[in-house]
């Protein structure tokens, strides 16, 4: 029986929360074929007219954001979107709250 990795479970909980709040998220999965641009965040979110890029990392783990990922997150912010590295649903809740207040 296949067991979902901890980070994948966290991504699923985040997606469920975003949907519950009325947003839409898209899970981005990289491939070895190079069909996707490198550095795209794990989740691309549309929430109340905002574009949000979320790079999901398991809490407490020693995961680093790669330089290309940092560049893409910065580019999203420079283009007027919201870009964050998150490790909990609570962090996502705060991001959505801030986005709601910007409206």
In terms of Cβ atoms closer than 10 Å to its own Cβ (0-12, 13-18, 19+), residue 103 is: exposed
CATH at residue 65 = 3.40.1350.10
pTM, 2 dp? 0.88
Instruction: Determine whether 20 is exposed, middle or buried from the number of CB atoms within 10 Å of its CB (0-12, 13-18, 19+).
Output: exposed
**Is 91 within a domain?**
yes
Domain for residue 1, yes or no? no
> Can you tell me the distance from the alpha carbon of 18 to that of 35, in angstroms, rounded to the nearest whole number?
27
Residue 83 counted as domain residue: yes
Domain boundaries, position 69: 6-102
Which tens digit of pLDDT belongs to each residue from 46-95?
Answer: 999 999 999 999 887 667 888 999 999 999 999 999 999 999 999 999 99
Number of domains in the chain: 1
* Of 1, 100, 14, 103, the residue nearest 57 (C-alpha): 14
**Of 2 and 78, which is predicted with more confidence?**
78
H-type alpha helices, 21-66? none
pLDDT of residue 6: 80
Q: The tokens 């491939």 sit on which residue? A: 31
Cα–Cα distance between 50 and 91 in angstroms, integer?
17
């Amino acid at each position: 029986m296949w067991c979902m990795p901890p980070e994948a479970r966290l991504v699923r909980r985040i997606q469920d929360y975003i949907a519950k709040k009325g947003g839409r998220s898209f899970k981005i999965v990289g491939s070895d074929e190079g069909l996707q641009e490198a550095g795209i965040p794990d989740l691309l979110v549309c929430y109340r007219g905002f574009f949000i890029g979320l790079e999901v990392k398991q809490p407490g783990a020693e995961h680093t954001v790669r330089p290309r990922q940092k560049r893409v997150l910065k580019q999203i912010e420079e283009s007027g979107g919201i870009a964050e590295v998150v490790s909990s649903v609570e962090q996502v809740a705060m991001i959505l709250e801030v986005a709601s207040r910007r409206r």
